[in-house]
Every structure is written in structure tokens, then in C-alpha cells.
Amino acid sequence: MFSLFPSIPFRRNLLSFRTRQLKPLPQNWMSSLKTEVVPSEREDTFDDGVRPFEDIPEVNRWKFIYNLCTKTEGFTKFFKETARLFDELGPIYKDDFMFTPFKTVHVIDPEDFAKVYLAEGKYPSRAMLDFWIEHRRRRNHFPGIIIADGEEWHRMRQTIGPKIMRPKIVEENMNNFNAVSKDAVARFIKLKETSQEEGHIPDLEKEMKRWALEGIATLVFNTRLGLYEDRPPQVALKFTEEVNNFFELSHTLLFNPFSRIARQYFDTPTFKKFLENADALMETGEGIVDKTTRELKEMTKNGIDLGDAQVVPLLTYLLMKEGLTPEEVNVHAIDFVGAGVDTTSFATVWWLYNLARFPHVQQKLYQEIESVIGIDDDVTPKHLTKLHYLKASLKESMRLTPSITSLTRIVDQDVDLSGYHVPSNTLVQMEFYATTRSDKYFKDPLEFKPERWIRESKDVHSFSHLQFGFGPRMCVGKKRRKKTP
Ligand code: HEM
């Protein structure tokens, strides 16, 4: 997800990353995980034919690193080595590649994903970035929905979920989204006209981030940042730079195992920069939240009714909620930006890329858009219900080139995965990239075929493509329609 190397096809999302830190974690986090997996009490094969944890094929850390450097494409693409390992070892293996004092179990089979979700417990927990946790801990900040676990997470989710996951949320924000997208298209046209290379947008990835940030800011902060103005406001430029730095520094910290080791002993220069930038980001966010708070107070003073709490913009809703401090509101808002901008922009960049590679799909999509919306019209909620091919092509793009290559859960109870016993409290990594590119789970996996999603196919396992996660901790940015994936 982090954009140090624009040519890297898949970035790992903050939420998908598998690492636990070597430094002590906050109490609630550490306590949720044993540092060593307790060996099974039963020694050999269980009565029911299930084999003990110790028998799960194990990958030697150094061999893994050697393979990354020689057989696949390096640290930033280790999901490719993971996919290769499944071919070599079968549907399950364990490792401690990130120098963790415990073993992580990796699985590829959607049947196992379903079992992991069943075993996730009431308060699902996943691995998180140590440096993000560390920043909030050191600054004594509220942890936020992405980092928090247990009852604390549940309370936050209950505060935010009912607002953000309402089916009407898209409809209510449609005008804002249309306005942002129109500005983006106008800018693309201008960039193409003035580009050195005819018809090219020089840095599409950066442009899609601008679009995602401006769009998500309307949803979260209830304001246009102004990134499409001829001279964007200083605060908008500052905020964009801080968001970008946040991801870039995270990328550096994440993919350098030696920096991870060094951070056990001292604050590395990159980590210090990360802390400074995270402070600046929080401060800029606070400025935006404060402005909205002042406006709200002014409105209430003037007797203006703020209306139904379900319909007001997200920031207003949070500020109206009793018991939330402005700092908590700010952390929520920053987390939404952190969770939403890169995931959305990368998914869109890859969608455009796949459409460019498969012109017949692009043509079919164009025809659908032209017949449903027309050339110049705004998109309406009614249109969305008719754009079946559009939705299928996005889903297919996210299968072929996922923004999230894996997702973790710390299982809350013992579970049998691919014939092996996995004790509760083990970190299990569901390897989506390997699954969606395997011909065992998808016919012609490397082809871009939106048609496979048009009709529910019996050939596709319902847990085989979970780009937004699943269960009570799934992405809040996904509109919830049904209880199955
Ligand atoms: C293509 C776009 C997106 C993708 C692929 C994506 C994917 C994900 C995934 C895989 C998770 C983890 C779910 C789990 O652990 O089961 C997640 C969580 C989350 N996402 Fe998204 N997301 C996207 C867009 C967004 C947007 C636009 C927002 C905000 C407006 C958002 C906000 C969040 C939040 C707050 C969480 C944490 C939920 C929790 O821990 O309770 N996401 N997302």
C-alpha cells in the first residue's frame, strides 16, 4: 500500500500486515497472544485424524529471506514467495520470518478462512503495525478503531458502525462524490493535454490518491480540502503531504527487517521521522475538527436544528455523540483517512490498469456506463443498482490485483485447519493473493473475467475473495448487504 516504489504491483495495507513487534506492545495487545505456541497435549495424530501443530510444515526464516532475494522479487513482494511456498508445501505452513517470538500460520484454502472467522471470537483481533501502536502509546493518544482490541474496540465499532455502514451512506454523499470526481476528470484532461508524453497522465498513482483523499475528506471531515483548486489551500497541501509521508515512512519501516531489529534498542532515524510526521498529521486533523466544532457551536447558538443524527455528516455525527472528546473524534477521522485513502486509490489504479490491458472489457464497461448514465450525467443511487458489469469488473480487478494481499486473525479458540490442530491465540494469516491466483480456487485465475461475478457461481467458494474482510471486524467502508461474504 505504501508508495515508495510506484512500480510495485501490490502494496500491503496497514490492516493486512502480519507483524507483531519485538518491543513490548501495549498491555491489552500483548496479553492477547502467547509468545510461544503451546504444544498440543496430544502427541501424534489425533483420534479424528487431525495432526498436531508441530507437524505443520515450517519454513526456515533464513531460507525464506534467501528465497525472497533469489527466487521471487524481494521483501516488498513477499506475498509472491508465500504463493510459491503453498505450491511447495501444501495448503498450510508456519514461519517466524519477521523475527517474531512465535509462529504465524499461513493458509490458502477458503474452507480454512471460513473456519478462522468462525473461531475469531466476539472481539476479533488482527496483527497491527507496531510503530503505529507505538506512536499512539507514547503520545498517550486514544488508540482508535483500527488498533484497539477487545471491549474497547467493540464500543468504538458500535459508535461508528451504525452510522458509516448504513446502506444510505453512499446516497447521502453522492453529490460530494460526483463533484470530486468531476474535478478529477477535468484535471486528468488538463494533465493529458499538457503532458510531455502525449496523452499520458504523468503520475496516475499520485492523482488517484488526490482523488481518494479529497473524496474521503468530504465523507469524514465534511469539507472539501480544495486539492483541485488552482491554488490549493496551504492546510490541504500540508495534510496531503503528511498523509503521503505517513504511508511512505510506514513502507520503509515495514519492509526493512533490520530496522525492526534496531528499533528494539533505539529509535532509528526513520522511526523518529515517522513519529514527527504522525504528530503533524494529528495536529492538522485537530485543526479541521476544531473548525467544525466551532461551526457546530455557532449553529446551535443561532438555533439551527442539526437534524437527524443518522443523516448529518460523519464528523458532525461524532461531535454530536455524547462522551467522545475532540481528540477521540480526531483519531477516528485520521483512522478513516489512513484506512481508506490508499486502499481506495490502489484498487482504482489497478482497475484502470486491468481495463487498459483488456480492451474488450473496457469496451463492454463503457457501453454499460453510456447506456445507464449517459456521457455527462451525474451518477445517482438508481444508476448504481443497474451497473452490474461495473461492479463485477471492479470485484474481478480486486481479485486479480488485490490491494490487500492477506489478512490476519488471532484465533480465539482451537481450530483444525487443513488437517492440523491450531491452538487458540495463534496468529493465522489468510493469504488472499495466493488463493485468488490459484487455479485450484479460480478457473483461469490470471484472466480478467468480470463475467465470473455476474451470476453467483457454484464453482467459486464464498470465502475465496474477501477484499474487505468478513464478520464483525470487516471494513466499515464496505456497504453491508448480507451476512455472507
Ligand atoms: C477498496 C477500498 C478498501 C478496501 C479494499 C478495504 C479493506 C479493508 C480490510 C481488509 C479491512 C480489515 C477487515 C478485517 O479485519 O476483517 C478494513 C478495515 C477497515 N476499513 Fe477498509 N477498505 C477499503 C476502503 C475503506 C474506506 C473508504 C474506509 C473509510 C471511509 C475504510 C475504513 C476502514 C476502517 C475504519 C477499518 C477498521 C475496522 C475495524 O477494525 O473495526 N476502508 N478495510
What is the DSSP code string of 413-439?
Answer: S-EEETTEEE-TT-EEEE-HHHHHT-T
Sign of CA dihedral 31, 37, 43, 49: positive
- CB of 473 within 8 A of CB of 120? yes
| Cβ 409 under 6 angstroms from ligand 1 | no
In terms of phi and psi (left: phi > 0; alpha: psi -120 to 50; beta: otherwise), the region of 144 is left
Neighbouring CB atoms inside 10 A of 406's CB total: 24
pLDDT of residue 38: 37
Cα(242) to ligand 1 centroid in Å equals 20
- 93 by DSSP, 3-state: which? strand
Q: Which grid cell sits at 123?
A: 472481539
Q: How many CB atoms lie within 10 A of CB 81?
A: 20
Q: How many CB atoms lie under 10 A from the CB of residue 228?
A: 18
Q: How far apart are CA 35 and CA 102, in angstroms?
A: 5
Find the 177 Cα to ligand 1 centroid distance in Å: 18
Pocket test for ligand 1, best of 405, 468, 479 (most atoms within 8 A of CB): 468
**d(C-alpha 387, C-alpha 53), whole Å:** 47
Distance of CA 265 from the midpoint of ligand 1 (Å): 33
Q: What are 87's three cell numbers?
A: 505450491
Query: Is residue 160 within 6 Å of ligand 1 at its C-beta?
Result: no
Ligand 1 contact via 335 beta carbon (within 6 Å): yes
- What is the 16 CA–ligand 1 centroid distance (Å)? 10
pLDDT tens for the chain, residues 1 to 485: 332 222 222 233 333 333 333 233 333 332 333 333 333 344 456 667 899 999 999 998 888 888 877 776 767 778 888 999 999 999 999 998 777 778 999 999 999 999 999 999 999 999 888 898 999 999 999 899 999 999 999 999 998 888 888 878 888 889 999 999 999 999 999 999 988 887 889 899 999 999 999 999 988 887 889 999 999 999 899 999 999 999 889 888 887 777 778 888 899 999 999 999 999 999 998 888 888 778 877 877 777 666 655 557 788 888 877 778 888 888 988 899 888 998 999 999 999 999 999 999 999 999 999 999 988 788 999 999 999 999 999 999 999 999 899 999 999 999 999 999 999 999 999 999 999 999 999 999 999 999 999 876 677 899 999 999 999 999 988 764 445 56
220: which residues sit within 8 A by CB, 6+ positions away?
314, 315, 333, 336, 337, 340
Q: Which atom of ligand 1 is nearest to the CA of 336?
A: 29
Predicted pLDDT at 310: 58
Check: CB of residue 250 under 8 Å from CB of residue 281: no
Name the residue among 122, 123, 120, 141 with its Cα closest to residue 132: 141
The DSSP bridge pattern shows strands 427-430 and 420-422 to be unpaired
Question: Could you tell me whether strands 104-107 and 427-430 are parallel, antiparallel, or unpaired per DSSP bridges?
Answer: parallel
Q: What b/e string do you get for 188-214 counting C-beta neighbours within 10 Å, with b at 16 or more?
A: eeeeeeeeeeeeebeebbbbbbbbbbb
Q: For ligand 1, is residue 146 a contact (CB within 6 Å)? A: yes
d(CA 362, CA 471): 33
pLDDT number for residue 102: 86
Distance of CA 144 to the CA centre of its chain: 15
Q: Is the CB of 15 under 6 A from ligand 1?
A: yes
Closest-CA residue, ligand 1 atom 38, reads 475
Q: Which of 203, 279, 297, 272 is nearest to 238 (CA)?
A: 279
In this prediction, residue 62 carries a pLDDT of 85
Rounded to whole angstroms, the Cα distance separating 116 from 412 reads 9
- Report CA dihedral (38, 41, 43, 47) to the nearest 10 degrees: -130
pLDDT at residue 17, as a whole number: 36
How far is it, in rounded angstroms, from Cα 329 to Cα 335?
A: 10
C-beta of 467 in contact with ligand 1 (< 6 A): yes
- Find the 338 Cα to ligand 1 centroid distance in Å: 9
Q: Which is the closest atom of ligand 1 to the Cα of 335?
A: 35
How far does residue 13's CA lie from ligand 1's centre (Å)? 9
Most informative mutation of 122, 211, 341, 343 for ligand 1 (most atoms within 8 A of CB): 343
| Distance in Å, CA 189 to ligand 1 centroid | 31
Q: 469 C-alpha vs ligand 1 centroid, how far in Å?
A: 8
CB distance 161 to ligand 1 below 6 Å: no
Does residue 250 contact residue 129 with C-beta atoms inside 8 Å? yes
Q: Cα separation of 248 and 22, whole Å?
A: 22
User: Which burial class, exposed, middle or buried, applies to 229 when counting CB atoms under 10 A from its CB (0-12, 13-18, 19+)?
Assistant: exposed
CA of 477 relative to ligand 1 center, distance in Å: 5
Q: What is the largest CA-CA distance in the chain?
A: 74
Pocket test for ligand 1, best of 159, 475, 479 (most atoms within 8 A of CB): 475
Whether 407 is in the pocket of ligand 1, judged by its Cβ within 6 Å, is yes
Which strand (E) or helix (H) includes residue 332?
Answer: helix 326-357
pLDDT, position 261 = 80
Q: Taking the CB of residue 247, how many other CB atoms lie within 10 A of it?
A: 18
Q: What is the pLDDT of residue 214?
A: 94
343 lines ligand 1 (CB under 6 A): yes
104 forms beta bridges with 95, 427
